[in-house]
Amino acid sequence: MTQLLLLPGDGIGPEIVEATHQVLKAVAELHDLELTYRWGSIGFESLAEYGTTITGETIEAARKADGIVLGPVSHNEYPSINEGGLNPSAVLRKSLGLYANVRPAVNLTGITGPTGKPMDLVIFRENTEGFYADRNMHSGPAEHLVTENVSIALRRVTRQASMRIAQAAFKQAEQRRSRVTAVHKANVLRTTCGLFLECCREVASQYPGVVYEEQLVDSMAALLVRQPEVYDVVVTTNMFGDILSDLASELAGSLGIAPSLNSSETHAMAQAQHGSAPDLAGMNQANPISLISSTGMLLAWLTVRSGNMKFLAAANSIDRAISKTLARPEDRTADLGGAASTSRFTQLLISNLE
């Protein structure tokens, strides 16, 4: 029996998590998977009931679950940390050691980006340190107000974190087109990016069959627009990966269809790349593809962890159903030019599962 923890979150979160739940139930029945579901509370709902946006009980439930489906959260609107306004996503990534944020950017059926260029790459973003102030200190944030007019942010890059994200990227490249691009800013951040590149080069030496190259982050942004078809696996630090993956996903068609998996060897969490879109909350108009596709990635991850190939078959069924549903423009959600509601698109997708 495999237990998944479902965390609806804020804004459109409850709608797209329920859509994902419906797809999971259907694909589990189709492929004879024994899935059970536990629901938890995060975000504003948790804040109102418990005084914090994520409780210790929820963190422990996530630790015990076989996988997590996390809805979007409106953390920019939360009160201060001292008032319980923690970012649930960051808390779970740090608490569970989810060091790899894997973000594919791939053209889906009938969906083209603004440049019309083909895209099929995946970004491996280091997920636990870098310039992100909420996850790189043992205690407290890594931003400091020195005086009323001076603020400082600290960046942490460690050998351990850099080595393991590089290892994950090269392993994936062996399953794809055997090319890794390490993205950095070592011409300015010589010490931190220098250490990151040192680790990438060391790992590259262990994979002679994988082509390895390096690009400055600003150059990489331009190259993704100019020649995205060249790139296969991109590995980079936290903030650079966050920014470049949003760019790549939009170039591939839309942030609304972009999947994302946060993972380690022992835990994994599906999470849409986009935000909580509070202006669409409760309107049955949100596009659920990003979270559904992310959950497909979670099922594929469970294949590796459990050795049960039924999980991979289920993940592939979800991918094929998404493509088949998108093939009819009128069946897409409004953000993709169609007329389907969230619930209508979900039912169409379920009917296209094979």
Is 246 one of the catalytic residues?
A: yes
Task: Name residue 144's beta-bridge partners.
Answer: 152
**DSSP state, 253?**
T
Token pair listed for 225: 């627009």
Overall size of the chain counted in residues: 354
Residue 217 confidence (pLDDT) above 90: yes
State the residue for tokens 């997708």.
349
Taking Cα atoms as reference points, which of 65, 81, 79 lies closest to residue 267? Answer: 65
> What does each C-alpha distance from 171 to 204, 266, 305 come to in angstroms?
10, 17, 15
Over its C-alpha atoms, the chain yields an Rg (Å, rounded) of 20
Worst-scoring range by mean pLDDT, 33-42, 124-133, 231-240, 285-294?
Answer: 124-133
> What does each C-alpha distance from 298 to 64, 69, 262, 286, 350 come to in angstroms?
16, 8, 9, 21, 18
pLDDT band for position 133 (cuts 50, 70, 90): confident
For residues 297 and 272, give the distance between their C-alpha atoms in angstroms, rounded to a whole number: 11
pLDDT at 96: 96
* Domains identified in the chain and CATH numbers: 1-98+255-354 (3.40.718.10), 112-252 (3.40.718.10)
CA 128, distance to chain mean position in Å, is 13
pLDDT at 139: 75
Token pair listed for 8: 């609806």
CB-side neighbour CA atoms (13 Å) of 167: 9
Residue 82 confidence (pLDDT) above 90: no
pLDDT band for position 111 (cuts 50, 70, 90): confident
Cβ–Cβ under 8 Å, residues 136 and 129: yes
Residue 263 confidence (pLDDT) above 90: yes
pLDDT at 141: 79
Mean pLDDT in residue range 221-250: 97
pTM assigned to the model: 0.94
Please write the tens of the pLDDT for every residue from 83-96: 999 999 999 998 99
For residues 66 and 5, give the distance between their C-alpha atoms in angstroms, rounded to a whole number: 8
Number of neighbours of residue 282 by Cβ within 10 angstroms: 11
Give percent above pLDDT 90 in the chain.
Answer: 91
State the residue for tokens 């972009």.
258
Give the N- to C-terminal CA distance of the chain in Å, as an integer: 22
Q: Which residues make Cβ contacts (< 8 Å) with residue 201, sequence separation at least 6?
A: 212
Is 99 one of the catalytic residues?
A: no
Among 132, 207, 212, 231, the one annotated catalytic: 132
pLDDT band for position 109 (cuts 50, 70, 90): confident
What is the dihedral sign for C-alpha 258, 204, 240, 113?
negative
Among 120, 246, 319, 335, the one annotated catalytic: 246
For residues 60 and 95, give the distance between their C-alpha atoms in angstroms, rounded to a whole number: 9
State the residue for tokens 């962890």.
305
CA 86, distance to chain mean position in Å, is 19
Worst-scoring range by mean pLDDT, 25-34, 78-87, 118-127, 181-190?
Answer: 78-87
pLDDT at 276: 95
Q: Is 8 exposed, middle or buried (0-12, 13-18, 19+ CB in 10 A)?
A: buried
Q: Which residues make Cβ contacts (< 8 Å) with residue 205, sequence separation at least 6?
A: none
Please write the tens of the pLDDT for every residue from 274-323: 999 999 999 999 999 999 999 999 999 999 999 999 999 999 999 999 99
Among 185, 212, 310, 331, the one annotated catalytic: 185
Taking Cα atoms as reference points, which of 24, 134, 163, 232 lies closest to residue 16? Answer: 24
Residue 134 confidence (pLDDT) above 80: no
Is 64 one of the catalytic residues?
A: no
Among 10, 66, 134, 242, the one annotated catalytic: 242
Please write the tens of the pLDDT for every residue from 138-192: 777 788 899 999 999 889 999 999 999 999 999 999 999 999 999 999 999 999 9
Q: Which segments of the chain does DSSP mark as H helices, in order?
A: 13-30, 43-50, 56-64, 88-95, 159-175, 192-204, 217-226, 238-252, 289-306, 309-326, 342-351
Cβ–Cβ under 8 Å, residues 236 and 184: yes
